[in-house]
Amino acid sequence: MKLIGLSGISGSGKTYLINLLKQKLGDRLSIISSDNYYKSIEFQNLDANGFHNFDLPEGINEQAFLNDIIELSNGQTLIRKVYNFNNPNAKKQFIEIKSAPLLIVEGLFIYHYQAIADLLEYKIFIDIDSETALKRRIERDEKERGMTKETVEYQWSQHVMPGYEAYVRPHFDKANLIISNQHNSDDAFKKLEISLNQLLNKVKE
């Protein structure tokens, strides 16, 4: 098994690309996302205006995330509850994560968590300009999470961008592969697919 990191700013299209990869690579690929390791709302930090800030590394249960990555790398299968973004009306869902030749570890802070970063053999960074990322975030959060544009813009300026600059962007130059995903394009996906197929070939050797 090879452990591959995939990170980038919120709205960069990480989930979009991963879903395409899963369709293409099937059971040769396993995915574990830090999104499903957020601590419950009472453990999230408040900003100066009393709003919860989910864009800090301590908002995620790093130890549980690390433990599950290790379990998967040892060939275990996991059952994990899907994080519902603190929506009390959301139906509980669980996902099964099976071990596979390639394991993608996805999330904002995966390169910031040293113990997790040390496990990753190949690091990918999805790049996009902040204006496009914000537009995607607004569209997603209005549609999927019932948030107002004003709330999303507040989170972006007060939480997302400061967190990105402090904990995500510093790892840009350390990535093995940087992919520009300005338009959720076929070119970005093809570049990612080629790199992962090369890694798969190395697993077989």
- Find the helix packing angle between 186-204 and 14-25, rounded to 10°: 50
Angle at 131 between CA 127 and CA 133, to 5 degrees: 50
Q: Summarize pLDDT for 48-101 with one digit per residue, the tens.
A: 999 999 999 999 999 999 999 999 999 999 998 887 665 656 677 888 999 999
Candidate ranges 37-41, 89-93, 111-115; pick with highest mean pLDDT? 111-115
Q: What is the pLDDT of residue 16?
A: 87
Backbone torsion region of residue 79, taken as left when φ is above 0, otherwise alpha when ψ lies between -120 and 50, otherwise beta: beta
* Cα 85 to Cα 81: distance, rounded to the nearest angstrom: 12
Q: Summarize pLDDT for 86-102 with one digit per residue, the tens.
A: 565 667 788 899 999 99
- DSSP-derived secondary structure letter, 34: G
Q: What is the pLDDT of residue 201?
A: 87
Query: Maximum CA pair distance of the chain?
Result: 55
Q: What is the pLDDT of residue 9?
A: 94
Please check the confidence at residue 121 and state whether its pLDDT lies above 90.
Answer: yes
Q: Higher model confidence: residue 151 or residue 145?
A: 151
Q: What is the pLDDT of residue 166?
A: 97
CA atoms within 13 A on the CB side of 154: 12
Please check the confidence at residue 14 and state whether its pLDDT lies above 70.
Answer: yes
SS3 at position 104: strand
Amino acid at 111: Y
* Cα 49 to Cα 106: distance, rounded to the nearest angstrom: 30
Q: Higher model confidence: residue 22 or residue 86?
A: 22
- DSSP-derived secondary structure letter, 38: B
Q: What is the pLDDT of residue 85?
A: 63
Assigned token pair, 6: 């995939």
Total-model pTM: 0.90
Cβ contact 12:128 at 8 Å: yes
Q: Domains of the chain, with CATH numbers?
A: 2-204 (3.40.50.300)
Residue range 145-161: mean pLDDT, rounded: 93
